[in-house]
């Protein structure tokens, strides 16, 4: 570990804000703490995967389709929830909620949407750690 | 699979290392591992009578 990393374990309000902001808008937390290139790369990739997932015919999971696949909808829904505001907007607008199983690429789309959410959780933790001084 | 591997490798490379050089090398390693393991699994599944 390099010497210029502040070895502090306390979490400031700024760290929580950076984490929450990254969750809501991918990459935004990094922009807040001055890690612009990192934020643009992470946010760009997450949002690109989200868009690609929808274009491939994937759909978002959540309580709305728990009658189809049961409890698994909540597990996948938790993964999708990592997309933050994008997930909320899709739920509100009714976009990407319908299963398009007839499309050959629908399962690929589902995987892209699930992994986009999970990667945004990682970005969120990264932004938190940087803002808290645990990481350079 | 390549697009998926590339996108995930970019994120892992960015988060996993702090220097630009380290990020690129780590991202390339992740990308190669994704492709290698994916192709290996595909061939294994091809020969299995599923």
What is the signed CA dihedral for B27, A105, B49, B34, rounded to 10 degrees?
0
pLDDT digits (tens, 9 = 90+) for B18-29: 899 999 999 999
Distance of alpha carbon A1 from alpha carbon A60, whole angstroms? 40
Closest-CA distance, A38 to chain B, in angstroms, reads 7
Structure tokens at B15: 């988060």
- pLDDT score at B49: 87
Average pLDDT over residues A29-56: 95
pTM summary value: 0.88
The alpha carbon of A120 is separated from its chain's Cα centroid by a whole number of angstroms, namely 3
Cβ-Cβ contacts under 8 Å, B17 against chain A: none
Q: How far is A92 from chain B (nearest CA, A)?
A: 27
> pLDDT at position A10, please?
54
């Amino acid at each position: 570990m390099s010497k210029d990393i502040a070895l502090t374990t306390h979490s400031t309000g700024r760290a929580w804000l950076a984490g929450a902001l990254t969750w809501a808008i991918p990459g935004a937390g990094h922009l807040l703490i001055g890690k612009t290139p990192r934020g643009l790369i992470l946010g760009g990739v997450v949002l690109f995967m989200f868009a690609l997932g929808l274009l491939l015919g994937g759909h978002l999971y959540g309580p709305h389709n728990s009658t189809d696949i049961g409890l698994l909808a909540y597990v996948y829904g938790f993964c999708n929830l990592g997309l933050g505001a994008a997930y909320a907007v899709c739920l509100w607008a009714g976009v990407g909620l319908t299963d398009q199983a007839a499309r050959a690429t629908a399962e690929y789309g589902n995987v892209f949407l699930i992994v986009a959410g999970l990667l945004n959780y990682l970005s969120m933790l990264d932004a938190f750690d940087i803002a808290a001084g645990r990481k350079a | 699979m390549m697009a998926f591997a590339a996108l995930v490798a970019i994120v892992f490379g960015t988060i996993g290392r702090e220097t630009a050089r380290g990020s690129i090398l780590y991202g390339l390693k992740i990308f190669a591992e994704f492709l290698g393991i994916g192709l290996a699994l595909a061939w294994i599944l091809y020969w299995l009578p599923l």
